[in-house]
Chain A
Amino acid sequence: MSHLHIPDGVLPPLVWILGAILAVLVLALSGRFTRHQGPQQIAFQSALGGIMLAVMAIPMPITAFDYCMTLAGPIGVLLGAAGALQVSFVVTVILALLGQGGFTVIGLNTLVLGAGAALARPLYCSLVAWLKPPGAMAAATAISQLFSSALWIGMLWLSVRVAPQSARDHEIAHALVWFKGGALVAVLVPLLGLAVGVEALLGYGLAGFLERVRPDLLPRSAGTPAPSPEGVKP
């Protein structure tokens, strides 16, 4: 749900062009925060990006349908906002080259996937003062997933608002009417709930494991400096 997978030619150009410009600005900003990072951090980001892609490729037998995870929340917690946005962009570009989501929606996909991931670490750092790391990770993952989904729906709404006179926006307006119609909501809301629940449980298991074997990889509560993989000796 948090990954659009919308192919080329469906959204109005104004929306995806704005998305692309916004994504460039956000990535440039993230570049300012990470400009002093060494190759070790880039290698770590890339390893997590690889995990994100590999995990997305494996369908999980959760219900009668297979569900593809994104791991955006846990990766956002491990990397922080700037790193998570950069990883989201790289993953989105590679997916677009494989025909999963269009070239023109790379910007929007990055924003939707990356924004949720970027939110995850601040949430985790706030929550870990109250909860144990697995619980904080699960909650941060769930909230970031819901945030991404809200952005996805907001993007559709924006498609209608930006240029309501154009034919394609009319189509999107129809899509929203259909959403409101109830039939789709009845299908999507339970699926979204299930997806958020599964991602949260995965985050719970992941944080539980890391807490036991490598707690230094997990960020600490707000106010405590987060550990960096650069500081960890191999």
Chain B
Amino acid sequence: MINTFAQVDYLASAGRSVWHRASAFTKLLAALAAVGAAVFAPGWPALAVLLVTAIALTVTAQLPPRLILAAATTPILFALLFVLASWHGHLVDALVLGMRPVISSLIALWLVGTTPYPDLFAPISRVMPRALGDGLFLTYRAVFTLLDRIERLWKALFLRGALEGPLRRRASMMGEAVGTVVLYGFERSQRLYQVMHLRGHSGRICGCRHWLEVREEDAWVLALVVWILLSSLYLSGVPRT
């Protein structure tokens, strides 16, 4: 998952598609409209249009096919439990249940794959209490440093044979290993606190100001919102079977 983290983070910053140049705020609105339409769509016709739209968005955002496939299949594994559990011979119902999470996951990929995280978190953190808004930024930053350390630690444990032997010993050793990471995280937070002080932390991390800079490309995003809403409303009246 973290490789995905790093890959998506890179693509969001380095991508050059029309969606990358649009503002974070309008993309966030479009994503909310698409997820809302997918969740509340009563039947498969509207969902089919949304699915095609979501795939088209990820493809035109020049996201790697492997990532698109991963985003499309990951929620299926979790939704499968519910699809199997609710199976009563109606393929269409199962299809509807399976399509919704796929659309949502693809839309999430499109959003995070075209929006750098400071731009994405800035509007979200504005509507949150300070601790949560700042937590979003700092947690996301911490993940990469800590993951690198954890991966090296796991490799060292593996090479030294700590991942062999009885379960009790393995889990306990891993707990100790996690302890070193917790300690590192604590010391890192101390340094971060000092850095924040030195840089004149005013009591809130605001992120950058690009998220609300409306550009020409935002017209495409607004057209997308109109397309999602109109097609969903129109196709909601189409019979399900």
Contacts and interface: CB of A to CB of B under 8 A. Distances in A.
Q: Is B one of A's binding partners?
A: yes
A206 B178 CA distance: 6
A55 B129 CA distance: 26
A234 interface: yes
Given A9-B104, A31-B129, A49-B138, 4 more contacts: A48-B182, A51-B185, A55-B178, A202-B171
Main secondary structure of the interface of A (DSSP, over half): helix
19 contacts: A6-B82, A31-B131, A39-B203, A43-B196, A46-B135, A47-B192, A50-B142, A51-B185, A54-B146, A86-B131, A90-B135, A90-B136, A91-B139, A103-B35, A201-B171, A203-B175, A204-B175, A205-B173, A205-B179
Judged by DSSP, the binding face of B is helix
A56 B181 contact: no
Interface in B128-163: 129-132, 134-143, 145-147, 150-151, 154, 163
A171 B94 CA distance: 10
A10 B167 CA distance: 35
Interface stretch (A93-101, A116-124, A144-152): A93-101
B61 interface: no
Contacts of B82: 6, 10, 171-172, 175
Interface residues of B, number: 87
Given A43-B196, A58-B150, A51 B181 contact: yes
Interface string B52-84: 000000000000000000010011001101101
Contact of B101 (A9, A40, A58): A9
Nearest to B149: A54
B1 interface: yes
A124 to B, nearest CB: 15
B108 interface: yes
Contact of A47 (B99, B131, B186): B186
Interface stretch (B2-10, B212-220, B223-231): B2-10
B91 interface: no
Contacts of B196: 39, 43
Nearest to A209: B179
A60 interface: yes
Closest 3 CB pairs of A and B: A205-B175, A9-B100, A50-B142
B193 A174 contact: no
Which of A86, A94, A208 is the most central at the interface, judged by chain B CB atoms within 10 Å of its CB?
A: A94
